[in-house]
Amino acid sequence: MNYVYILQCSDNSYYTGWTTNLEHRLKAHNNKKGAKYTRSRLPVRLVYYEEFASKQEAMKREYAIKKLSRTQKEKIIAQTD
């Protein structure tokens, strides 16, 4: 499986990425081995994810989410609560 995810950083900003292993990737982010963006904003927590069959679908969705405003991202996150 391929996943697109949104993390909430300690400064309340959001980071969007994709991975094939959510648990491993979350640990990597929190151990300063993830994206440069999250390294100075630890800890991060998973607030949203979607599953995709292909890497291409996941990357396309990641790109689309990154283009959204903060308000739009918050609406997506709120739908899962």
Q: Profile the chain (81 residues) by mean pLDDT over runs of 10 residues.
A: 97 97 96 92 96 97 97 94 62
**CA-to-CA distance for 32 and 17, rounded, in angstroms?**
15
The predicted pLDDT at position 23 comes to: 95
CATH 3.40.1440.10, domain 2-78, yes or no: yes
Domain ranges, ordered by start, for the chain: 2-78
The predicted pLDDT at position 34 comes to: 87
